[in-house]
Amino acid sequence: MNKVEKVFSQSGQLAKAIDGYQPRQAQIELASGFWQAMNNKQLLVAEAGTGTGKTFAYLVPALLSDKKVIVSTGTKALQEQLFHRDLPLIKKALGSYRKVALLKGRANYLCPYRLTLNKQVSDVTDKQILADMKKVSTWANKTQTGDIGELSSIGEDSRVFPLITSTIDNCLGKECPNFEDCYLVKARKKAIAADLVVVNHHLYFADLAVKDTGFGEIVPDSDVVVFDEAHQLPDIACEYFGERFSTRQMADLAKDIELEYRTELKDVKQLGKVSEKLTHVAREFRLAFPHDPVKGNWREKIQDESINEILNKIYETIDFAYEVVKQCVSRTKGIDSCFERLCHAQAALSSVTDMTKVDVSLWYETTMRHVSLNLTPLSVADKFAPIMQEKQQSWLMTSATLSVDGGFSHFTELLGLNPHKTLVLDSPFAYDKQALLCVPRMFPEPNDRDVLNALVDVCQQLIKASGGRCFLLFTSYRMMNLVANRLEKIVKNPLLVQGQTGKRELLNQFLADDETVLLATGAFWEGVDVRGDALKCVLIDKLPFASPDDPVTQARIDNCKRQGLDPFSKIQIPQAVITLKQGAGRLIRDVNDTGVLVICDPRIATRQYGQSFIKSLPNMQRTRSMSKVVRFLSEMS
């Protein structure tokens, strides 16, 4: 028994520190595998089913070692949980004195320079922004970390945050007059001094892609890197190794140029004109796209004559801005930053409008106020694999959902990985006793005109049988809203619909009332942990194949066809299997949980490829009878 196995044993430190602790074979296997990989500079790719205890399985070896470790999570929520809950508990159990640090991206920290600058300019009239700014000013006088996550009294989407935080674009770096007071600098110093640093994937890859400027890399070098929620890596890596040009960047730049003009450079009246022109052309470009938020194929959209006309205006405006701002370089640090951003905007715009590029997806996305033009590589294998080889580190990539048909080729090929070892560790939960899987008999195909009626009928039966306590998960906002509108008229239970308020608030409301039903899409398919009697039923409206209209998916499909491969089996099925596993994983979160998973898509039972989905799900009891589901739920109540 090695030192790691001893910690997890019945008489080990964890058993002494945690009431009711029971050793789990899968957890010990993962911890030992990671310990071996860590000491031999190897890559371990491991799928660990829900309930394995994978967090402890990698944190214990990391704290027992003498190596510098970076732990990267998929979400800020897990990042906070690791740092504030799990690490203190494990450190205490082990009697460890290893230093730990939490590191987030710059937009998560108060920027004292921008706070001072924006308080000087008194043209903000929005009452909510003024009220929030007052709260920020009070908090700024007492915060130790500058982490805006502490500002719980201000809404997550408050428009005050862009005024008091910096971005890669507008950060002045070492040139900033407040550099010594910078909370990001302080956080990075702690991270450099720490033995274990908790980051998130977005920060890690932004850093890796050398997107950051100012004071270089944020994430310190390490001996070991752990990626939890690693199934997210391929998409996040593609995002950061790509290019983006957006009207938000233009609008932010316009504001900062205006700020320089009104505070430091009042003699350069042309700066006011630059700000005005940038704001106007950004607004005009957004109006050239449909009103509702949408994603689309940029290669097709750029063929529109009206789009080309406005693009030419954007080029002209940026060129004009470049010439004016260039004349002011070296006069203030702020205007120097604006000039750098203009240069970057010119390069980004040139990149995303170059239609000769291959092996990339060129797509646009609109929000209510802005539009972004994006260049996304179809694969990052050629970029990420050499970085891993060069760094000579130990690596662990783990998640509850990495394998398809028992293998990892889908995941490893996307990132260009050649793991020394792979592990598939089953969940310790007794799914055959705790859960029932139902694919309702005689349910219409997804494109059938009766599918909405059938879906509403099944939802109504589930809500009645469980008394609420349901997650109804959808693959589209459209179907979610259609079902919500119907259910409002026929059930008495309170309905929470994604979009009504923020994710955290929706979850709090769900947990506060046993009779509540939550209807949601993508954001709730993963990273949501509801245990015990609060959740008894998860419904999934159909197999979560990516929309063929999604421009990145479409580009990958076309690329796959060009190579003579079958995109359905190579791309679409593996992606959908991973997503389904995530959604299904919301149901059983603890050894005492019980519940029903209902998948309203007959293709899982009638198509040959359905077996890939069935095999990927835990070994639950199975039925096609809704009456059996109702009985199962009634017995649980």
The predicted-structure confidence for 573-607, as pLDDT tens digits, reads as follows 999 999 999 999 999 999 899 999 999 999 999 99
CA–CA dist 579, 233 (Å, integer) = 14
Which pLDDT value is given to residue 358? 87
Q: Which strand (E) or helix (H) includes residue 439? A: none
Question: Confidence class of residue 212 from pLDDT cuts 50, 70 and 90?
Answer: very low
Question: Confidence class of residue 60 from pLDDT cuts 50, 70 and 90?
Answer: very high
Which pLDDT value is given to residue 527? 83
- Tokens linked to 252: 């932010």
Mean pLDDT of 308-325: 95
> What pTM was computed for the model?
0.90
pLDDT greater than 70 at residue 122 = no
CA–CA dist 45, 238 (Å, integer) = 20
Mean pLDDT of 287-303: 92
pLDDT greater than 80 at residue 137 = yes
Least confident of 325-339, 365-379, 413-427, 546-560: 546-560
Query: How does the average pLDDT of the chain come out, rounded?
Result: 91
Q: Which long-range contacts link 608-617 to residues 24+ away (Cβ below 8 Å)?
A: 609/568, 609/569, 609/573, 612/404, 612/405, 612/573, 612/577, 613/543, 613/576, 613/577, 613/580, 615/405, 615/406, 616/403, 616/404, 616/405, 616/577, 616/580, 616/581, 617/437, 617/580, 617/581, 617/584
Q: Count Cβ atoms within 10 A of the Cβ of residue 467 and give its class: 0-12 exposed, 13-18 middle, 19 or more buried.
A: middle
- The residue with greater pLDDT, 152 or 197, is 197
Mean pLDDT of 360-373: 94
Which pLDDT value is given to residue 213? 43
What does the pLDDT look like over 522-546, one tens digit per residue?
889 988 888 999 999 999 999 999 9
What does the pLDDT look like over 446-463, one tens digit per residue?
999 999 999 999 999 999
Which pLDDT value is given to residue 44? 97
Mean pLDDT of 130-147: 91
Mean pLDDT of 9-38: 93
The angle formed by the CA atoms of residues 144, 147 and 150, to the nearest 5 degrees, is 90
Which pLDDT value is given to residue 602? 96
- Tokens linked to 346: 């010119």
Which pLDDT value is given to residue 175? 84
Mean pLDDT of 394-404: 95
Which pLDDT value is given to residue 475? 95
114, 481, 512 from 144: Cα distances, Å: 18, 43, 32
Percent of the chain with pLDDT over 70: 98
CA–CA dist 204, 556 (Å, integer) = 25
CA–CA dist 418, 401 (Å, integer) = 18
- Asked whether the beta carbons of 583 and 535 are under 8 A apart, the reply is no
Which pLDDT value is given to residue 631? 92
- DSSP alpha helix (H) spans, 416-496: 431-434, 451-466, 477-490
pLDDT greater than 70 at residue 402 = yes
Which pLDDT value is given to residue 121? 67
Strands of 224-227's sheet, edge to edge? 100-102, 196-200, 69-73, 224-227, 394-399, 43-48, 421-425
> Looking at the DSSP assignment, which residues form a beta bridge with residue 244?
374
User: Can you say whether residue 576 is alpha, beta or left, with left for phi > 0 and alpha for psi between -120 and 50 degrees?
Assistant: alpha
Mean pLDDT of 262-282: 92
Question: Confidence class of residue 216 from pLDDT cuts 50, 70 and 90?
Answer: low
Q: Please name each of the domains of the chain with its CATH number.
A: 3-98+195-234+380-425 (3.40.50.300), 106-184 (no CATH), 243-377 (1.10.275), 431-636 (3.40.50.300)
Mean pLDDT of 322-327: 94
Which pLDDT value is given to residue 406? 87
| Look-up of token digits 């306590």 | 469
